[in-house]
Structure 1
Amino acid sequence: MMSRPQFDGRPNGFIHKLRTGGERRGVLFTDGDIWRDQRRFVLRTLKEFGFGNVTMEDIILNNAVSLTNTIESLTKLGPITNLYNITSIAVLNSLWTLVAGTRFDLDNPKLTEILLVVNEIVRNTNATGGILTHLPFLRHIIPGLTGFTALNQRWTRLWQFIRTEITKHKQTRTHGEYRDFIDVYLAEMDTKQSSSTISSFDEEQLISVVKDLFTAGVETTKNTIGFIITYLVVKQDVQKKVHEEIDRVLGKEILPRIVYKNRLPYLNATIAEVTRLANVGPTSIPHRAMSDTTLLGYEIKKNYTLLANLRSVHMDEQHWGDPKEFRPERFINDRGEYVEDPWLIPFGLGHRRCLGETLAKNNIFLFAACLLQKFQFVLPSEHPDPILEGIDGFTIAPPPLTVVAIKKT
């Protein structure tokens, strides 16, 4: 289904328009020419990212090191109860530096508010769009009970936050100089508007694209990093092997970099196994049939919505043998090398696979390597074992967790 162009559409329901100001905009929930133009632009800009002399890898590492320093200072106060929150801020800072050229302080109240808004949106929606997708008129009758009032307020706050940032960029940008993604997009808007062709590049699209990067990028990455810590506090034997590998390859002082990735097969295998079992995105984003067609003998009408059940692939007994077991070794071959398994598809497949895949993988690898180079994570005594199934929502979030971070000597 995911590799067939007939299913490359996105639903065109009320809720999908509400999230981007009343029209379908951005890259997540658009299709056709608008989606192709926006996606191509986003991919090209992220790929070429290196404004000034700062690369994407430097930005991520800067935030990963800052996170380890924050954790180190928190350990002096005892067990850490808000590890996911501070990890979220560090992940968001990586993305926000790319998008808007600035970093937030960890205690910035504006940032805390926006992270809370994004978290509430994700926890209170699901991949089908919920009741308002199917019965949108109910928002007029019971706006509170259907969740419409709260959802509309949250989307509006996020929209205003991004619009304010774009307004600041417009006032401070210098022609021909690009500080970040927003600057490059504004320059593209200028170019398109100076030619007489009809263009999908305007300010509303820019807000929507930034919003898509923001909600999709931060949420899945921080949840995956959160699950890595959660699994490793439970599976201390696996954490010990990861520590031994990092100590052997990098030691205490060499900063983890992408160039060392192939020399850390067990860390890669552990990340892959957490990704497979946690299923942060258990289904694909909804696909829409662009025309009448058939799939596996079933008749699919135009505009039908289809969801790919990625979790069923990751938990397939015939392929994995023991899918419920946490066993990173399944991704290691006889020569001790990490081997990718084509059945691991957390970023989807086909034309609509996640466009931030490289950025997400780099974030997860560098954050995990930096944290595990510096700390051993354990549960406080008397802490119940965390529920590894996670918390439901549009994505699956790790369970609440209090951890003790022990600095490695």
Structure 2
Amino acid sequence: MWLAVIFFMCILALLAYLDTRKPKNYPPGPEWLPIVGSMLAVRKLRNRTGYLYKATAELARVYGPVIGLRIGKDRQVVCYDYAAIKEMLTKEELDGRPQGPFYETRTWGIRRGLLLTDEEFWQEQRRFVMRHLREFGFGKKTMSELVEAEAAQLVNMFSNKLITEELTVNGIKGTIVPMRDAFSVYVLNTLWSMLASIRYSPDDGELKTLQSLLTELFASIDMVGALFSQFPFLRYVAPEKSGYKQFMSIHQRVWKFLKEELDNHKDTFKLNSPRDLMDVYLEMLHSQEKKPSFSESQLLAICMDMFMAGSETTSKSLGFGFLYMLLHPEVQRKAQEEIDRVIGRERTPTLNDRPNMPYVEAFVLESVRVFMGRTFSIPHRALKDCTVQGYYIPKDTMVIANFNGVLMDKKFWGDPDVFRPDRFIDADGTLHVPDQYLPFGFGKHRCMGQTLARSNIFLFTASLLQKFNFNVPPNELPPCTNGVDGVTPSPGEFNAFVTFRL
């Protein structure tokens, strides 16, 4: 009996020891404990700093720009500086996307969509989507018209608030506008018009509920997963504490919302008369040329990716941009001087004005930098054993870039914590974008929405600053720049005192 117990304990001790061993030449990082790996060390740093990106930045200062972790069952490598991130984003062996419950549950237990698929399936689907989005205006004049129309609607919303909710503070007439979510519906509409010929109203009750739920979800998980991702058994024994119950509940609401939109399209679309990307995809499903990667569930997953991520980076970049502008009135003043000089007050801005407005364009770049400098890339997965900066990366390891290490690098930017659009303008007044500016990624997985995102931020900013002034509301403290941690950090709730420009 005792021999059996001793033998069993020895086996457990051996397994525990083997569970703490790292692969040879694996990137340096915190020690691995049995079962949990380096999770406790990362959590301790995250609790102290308040943010996952700051926690891994601390680790980079200790272990170097390539950090080797294991969270639960998952090996994870974080790349932190420019050289490591660029190598990671351009290495074909790292072109995979992660696998597991967290990344598959969101699409009915199978890998679908565009954001989290890879290899031939991803290439075929991405090629189809990009080709047909261009046919419906992506990157063309039609897209400009869509963005300009939404910018006009955004200006109308602010104007109506000023007229119907006018306040007089210290003898100045204006209104207080919550800014965190002021842009999201209008940004979503620019993409959704091409995808499904739909324009949502900011007053749409179901849409507002969904966006509120998604904000809650994005604040409670992060880009490298959730507890039920690293410890899958928690889905069954602790569905609420592991985040699984909330994750599923919110996704089910999104599935239902998008399925209704797809069913409406199926009832109204006509072969050979496509109105949008959804129609073109439905045509493919009826075609004899249909390939195995095409399915109705894949179309729904594409819609979900576009819906959940389509406005995320853009609306949060706008949020951070306007937050910092409240704290730096000179930025607003310089942008308005350029708008008045190039456009004036009579006609509305268009995307054709961009080449003549380097300062507003620099505001766009700086807004994206201060937002994306707090974020991680979408995770990659090693398709085979390989190396990054000379370190061994075993097959199926998750590899992720912390953009803080390149977009907030003091050695390159000098004063990265200062909101200063002038950093992108050369002495001769022309716009300059350095190689270290990588917020949209690099290589084959470069963000497919970059063109639309920059167009939205430019035109929404120019259109609003042409008509309105934005200031910290009287009797309110200046907004905090820390933001709220999550999948991608949010600027948090903040208000602006908005007035018509005289």
TM (normalized to structure 2)?
Answer: 0.78
**In structure 2, what residue type is equivalent to 1:95?**
L
Question: What's the Cα RMSD here?
Answer: 1.7
- Equivalent in 223, 229, 237 of residue 127 of structure 1: 223
Of the structure 1 ranges 120-129 and 10-19, higher mean CA displacement relative to structure 2 is found in 120-129
Of the structure 1 ranges 389-398 and 112-121, higher mean CA displacement relative to structure 2 is found in 112-121
Does residue 18 (structure 1) correspond to residue 105 (structure 2)? The answer is yes
| Alignment check: 8 A CA contact 2:381 2:397 kept | yes
Q: 2:293 corresponds to which residue?
A: 200
Number of residue-to-residue matches in the alignment: 405
**Deviation digits for residues 154-185 of structure 1, max 9, x if unmatched?**
11111111111111101111111111121111
- Equivalent in 349, 353, 356 of residue 449 of structure 2: 356
Identity of aligned pairs, percent? 38
Q: 1:393 corresponds to which residue?
A: 486
**Deviation digits for residues 108-165 of structure 1, max 9, x if unmatched?**
1122122123222222220110211110110100111111111101111111111111
Q: 1:102 corresponds to which residue?
A: 198
What SS does the corresponding residue of 1:46 show, helix, strand or coil? Answer: helix
Alignment partners' CA distance in 1, 2:267 and 2:409: 53
Alignment partners' CA distance in 2, 1:362 and 1:181: 20
Alignment partners' CA distance in 2, 1:147 and 1:171: 36
- Equivalent in 174, 180, 198 of residue 84 of structure 1: 180
- Equivalent in 154, 161, 170 of residue 67 of structure 1: 154
Does residue 274 (structure 1) correspond to residue 367 (structure 2)? The answer is yes
Q: 2:412 corresponds to which residue?
A: 319
Alignment partners' CA distance in 2, 1:190 and 1:245: 51
**Deviation digits for residues 59-86 of structure 1, max 9, x if unmatched?**
1111111111111111231433433333
- Equivalent in 92, 96, 99 of residue 9 of structure 1: 96
| Alignment check: 8 A CA contact 1:243 1:372 kept | yes
- Provide structure 2 residue ranges, at least 5 long, that are not aligned to the other structure: 1-87, 168-174
| Alignment check: 8 A CA contact 1:220 1:281 kept | no
User: Displacement of 1:281 after TM fit?
Assistant: 6.0
Alignment partners' CA distance in 2, 1:280 and 1:163: 35
Q: 2:274 corresponds to which residue?
A: 178
Does residue 346 (structure 1) correspond to residue 439 (structure 2)? The answer is yes
- Provide structure 1 residue ranges, at least 5 long, that are not aligned to the other structure: none
1:7-406, aligned counterparts within 5 Å? Answer: 7-50=94-137, 55-76=142-163, 77=165, 78=167, 79-191=175-287, 194-195=288-289, 198-279=291-372, 282-406=375-499
**In structure 2, what residue type is equivalent to 1:160?**
K
Alignment partners' CA distance in 1, 2:437 and 2:206: 37
Going by fraction, where is strand more abundant, 1 or 2?
A: 2
Alignment partners' CA distance in 1, 2:278 and 2:374: 27
Of the structure 1 ranges 366-375 and 114-123, higher mean CA displacement relative to structure 2 is found in 114-123
Alignment partners' CA distance in 1, 2:499 and 2:320: 18
Alignment partners' CA distance in 1, 2:360 and 2:329: 14
| Alignment check: 8 A CA contact 2:409 2:416 kept | yes
What SS does the corresponding residue of 2:181 show, helix, strand or coil? Answer: helix
| Alignment check: 8 A CA contact 1:122 1:393 kept | yes
Which of 1 and 2 has greater Rg?
2
| Alignment check: 8 A CA contact 1:256 1:369 kept | yes
**In structure 2, what residue type is equivalent to 1:48?**
E
User: Displacement of 1:255 after TM fit?
Assistant: 2.0
Of the structure 1 ranges 270-279 and 214-223, higher mean CA displacement relative to structure 2 is found in 270-279
Alignment partners' CA distance in 2, 1:321 and 1:93: 37
**Deviation digits for residues 19-76 of structure 1, max 9, x if unmatched?**
111101011000111100111112112222249x981111111111111111111123
**In structure 2, what residue type is equivalent to 1:45?**
H
User: Displacement of 1:322 after TM fit?
Assistant: 2.0
What SS does the corresponding residue of 1:214 show, helix, strand or coil? Answer: helix
**In structure 1, what residue type is equivalent to 2:261?**
E
Alignment partners' CA distance in 2, 1:184 and 1:120: 33
Alignment partners' CA distance in 1, 2:454 and 2:141: 19
User: Displacement of 1:376 after TM fit?
Assistant: 0.9
